[in-house]
Every structure is written in C-alpha cells, then in structure tokens.
Structure 1
C-alpha cells in the first residue's frame, strides 16, 4: 500500500471529538458528554414544583424546567444572561458560580442561600455527571394552589375553610386572616378548629405539615 492510499484511508476514519470521548469522573462511573433530554423527561420535569436547571461548569443553561423559567424571568433571585444563570448581587453571583462549577467539575454538593430580605431563597446544587450540575430552587410557597384545592375537596372543607387554610399556608396568623377577610377573630378560630377536625390534624403545625407534603398539581392552562 503506497503513501497516497494510506492518506486516503486515514481520511475516511471517524475522528473522535471531546463529546465522544468518555472521561472518568471522580464521583461516579464513566459518562459521555450530555445530550439533549427527551420530550417525555422534559415534560415530567415541568410538573416538578421546584425550579430545576441543568447547567455546565460555566453556568450555561442546558435545560430549564417550567418553574425554573418562571424564576429566571422574574429576575429577583436569579436571572439568565447570555444563556448563563447568574445572581444579580455580587456576593450571590460568586457563590452561585462557584457552587455550579464545583458540582459539575468536582462532584461537590452544596446548599446555598441567595437573594435579599423577603426574596431570599435557598438552592441546592448537585452533580449530575462530569460537566453537568443541577440547580434546584427551593419553593417560595407551601404548595401549589391546585394541590391545596384538592386537599380541601378530599376533606370536605367549605370555601371559607379552604381560604383560611390557604392563608395559613402563606404564613398568616389568625388575627391577620380575620382582618383580611373582614370577620371576627373568633370566626377564624372556629374555622381552624373545623379544618383540624375534618383533617385529623392535632395542631396547626401538623396541619401545615400535611399540606407541605402534598404532591404538586400544575394547572393545565400553563401548557
């Protein structure tokens, strides 16, 4: 075989690119570079009641579920700049960037707190595979409205009782609920007692634990 033949044969061989080459990871088995997730998994992630973003070591967004898109569009705690997730405040920006890089490259897991005052949120950053991290934003509310409505129907709560339960879930005290609804404090306390009786909750704290454990039900209109 002459030199010309060798050159022609070599030209037809597949060339390995970085995304094709398996790389050993310090925190799990060998993985390949990520591909786009399928539509079925993407749809399932949209039903998750927390913002979930898959990112590379440079915080470049690879996938955002619906809740994450909402959070980033709001821009209060995190935002999307040129395709990268960033925090608006300097210290938060450094913490987020460091946590994402450490998770994607070193396999480190971290809980970070970002935002200011009432907008302060918690976020978990975990490794998915080498070069990919997941950012999960803590919920800003106790549970989805539809989940709460389903809970109220399942326990035969009246409309007034359901409104009181929703207010308790927002962290409102009975006196505040009474002022908002324009009723006496004794009325709200009676309604709370009725809610506890119908749900079997021994206290408001136990009632809120029950509500917090409800699975999310996302409204169909969102789709």
Structure 2
C-alpha cells in the first residue's frame, strides 16, 4: 500500500512546461488531465521510487495481474517480470528508451520506459513509464459514438462485439440469435455510420479519441498523495 504521509513531488518533473511556477492550481489541473489519459502513466525517480501514478496505473497495480507496488517500488508479480522491469528502468535512467512486454495466460501488458532527463543534465533523473492503452471496447467514446449514430441497443451490442474481435457466429451465439440477424444488424450499422465495410467501420472506431469511463476513476486524491482507493 502507498504510504499516506509520502507526498509525491511533481514540480520538478513539470516545471519546464510552466506548471510548477504557477503554483498548485495548475499542478492539480495537470494531474487531473493525466487521470483522464486512456493508459497508465507512472513517473519513477532516480532511486527507483514511484513519484506519480495516474488512476489507470493505480488500478493496474492494485489488481496485481502483472505489475504491483511494493514499498513504493514498481515490481512484477513474478521474479522474471521484476527483473525485466528493473533492467528497463536502469537503462532508461542512462538515457535509453526501452519496451517491456509482460504476458500471462490471460493477460498481456506492455510498458514503455522513457527517460525524462539526460544523464549529462543536472536535474534529478526520472523516468516516464507508459502502460498499454485500453482496448477499443473499453473506450467510452465507442458508446458515445453509438449514441451519436442513433444505434439501437442491439446494434450497439453487435458493435461492441466486433470491437472485441468476435466473429458473426460468436456474436450470434453470445446474443442467442441466428447469424442472419447479426448480419442484418451489421448492415444497419454500416448504413447508419456511413461505412461501406466492417473494416472501415473498425478503423473509424479505433480512431475515436480515448475517453476513460467515469465510473472507473478512483476517488479524487489530494494530488498526488498516491493513496490507493478501490478502483
């Protein structure tokens, strides 16, 4: 668990963008913006301590499916995952960008380690860690898109199935209908969205801006005390 008395300093990381000099209001606003990003964001300092985690990163760590927090340090759930994370972090602190892919039987997570400082610079070394984006079916913008196109509930369900990569037989079996019904619904989807094919419709859906579902946002924090709330 995060220590409640450990205040997370973000001023040194963001002052170059003009936020630190303006005081706490701009800092808090920036951190709220990071909570709306559709992938986990972590900032780790030169001693390997977690200095910031947006809400999706906190959700991922508390779920402990592939990564977790222990003693304010980013670890993997296995020794091998931890070794990969520590090696990438050490290389990023030396100015090298690294990508780590962690896989289990039912889960895959990629982590990009990006240096926020150069080894020859005088500021405190730190590393930005970006986690995989959510899948299209978890993007709230997809449901917003369905509403804007006046899709019926059943058509929206078919659209979400296509986003999950399901085939027509799979969608039919899941909804308890015949395949011809699903094909009719897909035809209606194409007509309402103005897409001549499923492929182009999926391209349009995948290009939607990522929107984080409000219900998944953990309770507001005094930015950024990094205390875990239930996701």
- Measured against the shorter chain, the TM-score band is 0.7 to 0.9
Give the TM-score taking structure 1 as reference length.
0.77
Aligned partner of residue 74 in structure 2, secondary structure? strand
Question: What does 1:116-135 correspond to in 2, within 5 Å?
Answer: 116-130=104-118, 131-135=125-129
Q: Which has the higher contact order (CA 8 A, sep 6+)?
A: 2
Mapped partners of 1:175, 1:140: distance in 2? 25
Which is greater in Rg? 1
Are the aligned partners of 2:136 and 2:164 in contact in 1 as well (CA < 8 Å)?
yes
Give the TM-score taking structure 2 as reference length.
0.75
Match of 2:103 in 1: 115
* 1:1-33 C-alpha deviation (Å, 9 max, x unpaired): xxxxxxxxxxxxxxxxxxxxxxxxxxxx9xxxx
Q: CA RMSD in A?
A: 2.2
Aligned length, in residue pairs: 189
Match of 1:52 in 2: 41
Q: From 11, 22, 28, give the equivalent of 1:39.
A: 28
Question: What does 1:1-223 correspond to in 2, within 5 Å?
Answer: 38-103=27-92, 105-130=93-118, 131-221=125-215, 222=217, 223=219
Q: 1:169 to 1:190 in 2, by over 3 A?
A: same
Show structure 2 runs of 5+ residues with no match. 1-15, 17-23, 119-124, 220-231
* 1:103-154 C-alpha deviation (Å, 9 max, x unpaired): 1x22211221013132122221111125111111112421545211110112
Mapped partners of 1:61, 1:153: distance in 2? 39
Show structure 1 runs of 5+ residues with no match. 1-28, 30-35
Runs of 4+ residues over 3 Å off in structure 1: 219-223
